[in-house]
Amino acid sequence: MRRKLLPYLLLMPTYVIIVLFIYLPAYDSFYSSFFKVSVFGNRRIFVGIQNYLSLFTDKDYLASVRFTLIYTLSTVVISIFLSFFIALLLDQKVPGSRIYRTLVFAPYAVSHAVAGALWGFLLNPVVGHVNYLTRIFFGIQTQWLTTRPFAAYSLIFASIWKTLPFNIIFYLAALQGISSEVIEASIIDGTNSWTRVWKIIFPLVSPITFYLVIMSIISSTFQSFAIIDVMTKGGPGGYTTNMIYKLFMDGFRFQKTGLAAAENVILFFVMIIITVFYFVYGQKRVHYQ
């Protein structure tokens, strides 16, 4: 009897943490999304699905959805392909390859908030190094964080810089796991480097690509808050406000807890749909070694 109960007792702290910090907040979000808090915050008013209807007729929220799609798609696509090619270069047996790998992996140790602060300083119009270099070489000076569309470009670039090391680590491990016999056979068959990369190597690392796409979507959607808050604060004029930052603004700045809960539920279902769709249809194209 003790042996049967021991595993459950050991897992009990984990269950408690999951219930307190995942299931209960999720339930509260679902429940609160059907209510509207009074002006003075002293009572809840049941409004049904009115919060959801208000969101889909709110031009600011629709703008945040549009920016989320652009921001996520750009970050995921560029970071996946760029990290794959960098991993190919790092996989080459050249002198000093370990030093190059260490330098490339360094941004992974930096938090999103620190990454945002770093790029906010580099892109500063007065003392930033980026404007200093563009002024010397091209004679131009740009307000990177306060003008359109450069604010979006800055966020995308900073997010890619932060995401690259994570992707490169996994791609490099996958490349080192490919059998050298496969590569040698393709060379004997006379395939050129471009064909070998896209027809042989990239399909062989498709399980890693499958995993990284999901992780990159989650990162771009949910972990982008710190970078946006530090660099642009959703500006100029809400131009760089994505869904997670809009949720923060409505929930904490404007105290619209009902709308914020509805936005949270929408994000929850969006991630469920993306994950299920990719696991059902994406796995059919995944090739395992």
Structural domain includes residue 168: yes
Give the three-state DSSP class for 145. coil
pLDDT band at 273 (very low <50, low <70, confident <90, very high): confident
Tell whether 45 is covered by a domain.
no
Residue 204: CA atoms inside 13 Å, Cβ hemisphere, count?
Answer: 19
Is residue 125 domain-resident? no
Look at residue 95 in the predicted model and tell me its pLDDT.
78
User: Does residue 13 fall inside a structural domain?
Assistant: no
pLDDT of residue 283: 61
The predicted model scores a pTM of 0.88
Q: Is residue 65 part of a domain?
A: yes
Range of the domain at 222: 52-114+162-285
Q: For residue 147, what is the DSSP state?
A: S
Tell me, letter by letter, the H, E, C secondary structure of 191-243: CCHHHHHHHHHHHHCHHHHHHHHHHHHHHHHHCCHHHHHHHCCCCCCCCCCCH
Tally of domains in the chain: 1
Is the distance from CB of 151 to CB of 236 less than 8 angstroms? Answer: yes
**pLDDT score, position 1:** 62
pLDDT of residue 109: 83
**207 pLDDT band (50/70/90 cuts)?**
confident
The set of long-range contacts for 46-55, using a CB threshold of 8 Å and a minimum separation of 24, is 47/258, 51/258, 51/259, 51/261, 51/262, 52/262, 52/266, 54/259, 55/259, 55/262, 55/263, 55/266
In a domain, 84, yes or no: yes
Cβ–Cβ < 8 Å for 33, 262: yes
